[in-house]
Amino acid sequence: MATQKISRTGVVTVGLFLVLAVFAVKLFSIQIIDHDKYVSVAEQMQTSKFTINPERGQIYTRDQNGELTPLVLNQTVYTIFADPSQVKNPGKIRDVIKKNVPDKMIESNLTDKKLNNKENQYLVLARQVTRDQVKKIQEEDLAGLGFQPTTQRAYPEGNLAAQILGFVNTDGEGQYGVEGFFDDELTGKPGLLQSVTDVRRIPLMIGTDDVSIPAQNGADYILTIDRSIQSQAEVILKNGLERAGTKSGSIIVMNPQNGKILSMANYPTYNPAEFSEVVDITNFQNRTTSYAFEPGSVMKTLTTGMALDAGVITPNTIYHNTGCVQIDDAQICNASRQVDGRDMTATQILQWSLNTGVVWELQQIGNGDITKQARQTMFEYFANRYRFSQKTGIEQAGEARSSLFSPDDVQGGRVRYANMTFGQGMAVTMVQFTAAFSAAINGGTYYQPTLIDGVVDHKGKEKTLEPNILAQNIISEKSSRELKEMIYQARQDNQPGKDKGYYIGSKTGTAQIYDDATGKYALNRTTGTAIGFTADKDKVPQYVIMVRVDDYPEEGAYAGSRAAQPIFDELNNYIIQYRGFSK
């Protein structure tokens, strides 16, 4: 006892140092050997990625003074929900909701039973509640109520230009119209925030691999639409169709001097704020761009333009009207037989809308016959000059393709081409036809039809889009002037004195509708069309209006003159007044 043989402190010291040595070895293993493993585990756990949602671009148009008027805005609305596990006074909640948002509440969820179900933590009481309404409800200070903000599209002009605008579906995707066509641009680019965060996911200033990409908000678009003309066109179209007893139709108004669309009206229409309630999805479609149809006799204007430009006729070239013409196995006759056997000028062919007359014009190109060469010339004009072989590129989702047979096609024979001279046996969209017609009467310049006047990018920089000329001299300037004059003259001769000195030219058409079921043209269903321009005192066309009336039920060739023409005239009169034209 007195003297230790083995030092006890020595034993303890050795033991202690051994333990600390083991610790050091283990630390080496954790911090050196497994360092990379723990670094990646740490990164995964400590680093968070946050997506910053961009704001969707808004859609505007200009008013008469050039000021921006919103057509589509973003709006924050709230979903009011209850957390029944926190609800104290279900009766008060029900009263407050019923008082403040009777039109937006979900009444079936406002029962005592559901509000008292302590198992549940989320019960939707009302949707689409505005900020002001939420404020009022919040003032009641009710336990267990929550408010969830969401962004949705708002339409200050209601139904106006619904098909042009399109809508944003519940997944946030743009559908139809401008929303569909410019979905990516309107959406913008989401931002990314990658950062080391604390345990509650609050970003820290620590770490070198932080990523911070701000969200790029979507671009705002300014449409070429004239709010007044659009609004009036929609009313006139609806009334006109009702008078004619048809269910659907469209109007397009375009400035032939720059391709800007002033209006695209469709009926039936819908309310984009309530897109989910639409049953028939054709209501969503802008049928001035998404629907290709046989335009009928309005095509005679462009056939005449071709004949003038090809140099085979002048406005006063005489055609002897035979009433009917035999092409191979098909007999083509005129709708109006009052002027059979008379000599007619080329202008009168338009005035009387003589099918045989325009067939004759085509035959003149082939030196009296619809030769392959004549057909090739016509195809060149229709496909490449009037650009019926391609989409116009109008800024609308789902632009339809036209249907045009080349002379090399089995289907592109003499009868087909004879029919094409008066707008049958081929299909185009209204925007295609209007753009081609505009080019034919404006001196021969084909402007790309466009709905976009300007773009405001995410930096707030506004860019005004210049008119895009796709082709010049599609017909010569002289041919264009002559054609314009012929169309004007034909209208004046048909309705003397009606236009009170204004320089207006127009042409109607009635197209038989090909019935896919029977494989024949139906006799009692026709498409009525009307196209025309109004020029200023210098005879410079200011706008072109085209009207289409679907499924006109009367037999005979009256859809154009009885259904489409009145709509054309009514809208034209409005625009003349609205624009304050001088004669």
Partner 1 sequence: MSRRSNDVGRSEPFLHNLAKVFKVGPKLDLGRKHRPDYILVVLIAILSVIGLVTLFSIAPAVTAGDGMNEFMWRQGMFLVASILAFVIASRIPLDFWRRFGVMIFMIALIMCLLLPIMGWLKIPPAFCTKGACRWYNFGSFGFQPAEFLKFGMILLTSGFLAVRVALGEINSWQKTLLPACAMLMISLFVIVIMQKDLGTGVALVAIFLMQLVIAGVEWSNLLWIVSCIVVLGVGSILIAPHRLARMSTFMGQGNDTADYHIDQAMIALGSGGFSGRGLGQSVQSFGYLPEAIHDSIFAIVGEIFGFIGLVVLLLIFAALLKRIIDKIDFTENVYLRLVAAGVFGWLAAHIIMNIGAMIQILPLTGITLPLVSFGGTSMLFIMASLGLVFAISHYTIHRKVSEVKGVSYADSLGGRRVGRSYYANRSGR
| Shortest reach from residue 14's CB to partner 1, in Å | 11
Among 34, 95, 328, 477, binds partner 1 (CB under 8 A): 34
- Residue 10 Cβ vs partner 1, minimum distance, rounded to whole Å: 9
The piece of 39-47, 185-193, 310-318, 508-516 that touches partner 1 (CB under 8 A) is: 39-47
Task: Build a one-symbol-per-residue string for 432-471: x at contacts with partner 1 by CB under 8 A, - elsewhere.
Answer: ----------------------------------------
d(CA 407, CA 417): 8
Run of H or E residues at 452:
strand 452-456
Alpha-helical runs (H) found in 353-429: 355-365, 372-379, 414-420
Q: Of 41-49, 152-160, 250-258, 504-512, which part binds partner 1 (CB under 8 A)?
A: 41-49
Least distance CB 121 / partner 1 (angstroms): 23
Strand ranges (E), 118-236: 123-129, 145-154, 167-168, 174-175, 191-196, 211-213, 220-226
Please list the alpha-helical segments (H only) found in 140-262: 162-165, 177-181, 183-187, 227-244
CB-nearer residue toward partner 1: 7 or 212:
7
C-alpha span between 266 and 243 (Å, rounded): 16
Give the separation between CA 510 and CA 24, rounded to whole angstroms. 96
Tell me the C-alpha distance between 21 and 41, whole Å.
27
Q: Is the dihedral of CA 183, 184, 188, 194 positive or negative?
A: positive
The distance of closest approach from Cβ of residue 212 to partner 1 in the complex, given in angstroms and rounded to an integer, is 18
Say whether 162 sits in a helix, a strand or coil: helix
Site for partner 1 in 191-250 (CB under 8 A): 196-200, 204, 206-207
Strand partners, 474: none
Q: Which residue, 37 or 49, has its beta carbon nearer to partner 1? A: 37
Smallest gap from Cβ 52 to partner 1, in A, equals 22
- In whole angstroms, the minimum distance from the beta carbon of 213 to partner 1 comes to 22
Nearer to partner 1, 4 or 76 (CB): 4
The single residue among 26, 135, 478, 537 that binds partner 1, judged by CB under 8 A, is 26
Q: Is 324 in the site for partner 1 (CB under 8 A)?
A: no
Count of residues that interact with partner 1, criterion CB under 8 A: 40
* Least Cβ distance, residue 191 to partner 1 (angstroms): 23
Query: Which tokens sit at 64?
Result: 């008469």
By CB under 8 A, which span of 20-28, 118-126, 403-411, 437-445 interacts with partner 1? 20-28
Q: Can you read off the two tokens belonging to residue 200?
A: 């509650």
Q: Which stretch binds partner 1 (CB under 8 A): 17-25, 111-119, 411-419, 430-438?
A: 17-25
Task: Tally Cβ neighbours within 10 Å of residue 450.
Answer: 22
Q: Does 38 bind partner 1 (CB under 8 A)?
A: yes
- Residue 411 touches partner 1, criterion: CB under 8 A: no
DSSP for 494-505, please give it. HSTTTTTT-EEE
For 187, residues 6+ apart whose C-beta sits below 8 A from its C-beta are: 54, 56, 57, 172, 174, 218
| CB 199, min distance to partner 1, A | 3
Please give the DSSP secondary-structure letter assigned to residue 2.
Answer: -
Q: Is 16 in the site for partner 1 (CB under 8 A)?
A: yes
Q: Would you count residue 18 as binding partner 1 (CB under 8 A)?
A: no
Q: Does 37 engage in binding with partner 1 (CB under 8 A)?
A: yes
DSSP 388-399: TTS----SSTTP
What residues line the site for partner 1 (CB under 8 A)?
A: 1-4, 7-9, 11-13, 16-17, 19-20, 22-24, 26-28, 30-32, 34-35, 37-39, 41-42, 45-46, 196-200, 204, 206-207
